[in-house]
Amino acid sequence: MINIKTLVIHERIRLLENLWDSIASDQNSISLSFVQKVELDKRLEAYETDKNPGRPVDGVVPEIRGKL
């Protein structure tokens, strides 16, 4: 087993990228819980009712960062 702390930063980043890619390529094996499905259905229904797409990310992210 590899001690991650012994790896240099670029090696840890590469390891993380490989891990993320392996998860992304196997998305069909990840299922949502009942609670998550209910929440997504609720949000989709709210969107279909009011057609409000929310706010653009380029406005929201700076606002959040300003509060940190």
Q: Which runs of consecutive H residues, i.e. helices, occur in 1-68?
A: 9-24, 34-50, 57-67
Q: Average of pLDDT values for 3-32?
A: 90
pLDDT for 50: 92
Please give the Cα distance from 18 to 20 (Å, whole number).
5
Please report which confidence band the pLDDT of residue 2 belongs to, taking 50, 70 and 90 as the band edges.
confident
Distance CA 64, CA 57 (A): 10
Phi-psi region of 54 (alpha: psi -120 to 50; beta: other; left: phi over 0): left
In the chain, domain spans: 4-67
pTM score: 0.45
| Predicted confidence (pLDDT) at residue 34 exceeds the cutoff of 80 | yes
The whole-number average pLDDT for the span 43-57 is 91
Token output for 7: 């790896």
Q: Report DSSP state, residue 7.
A: S
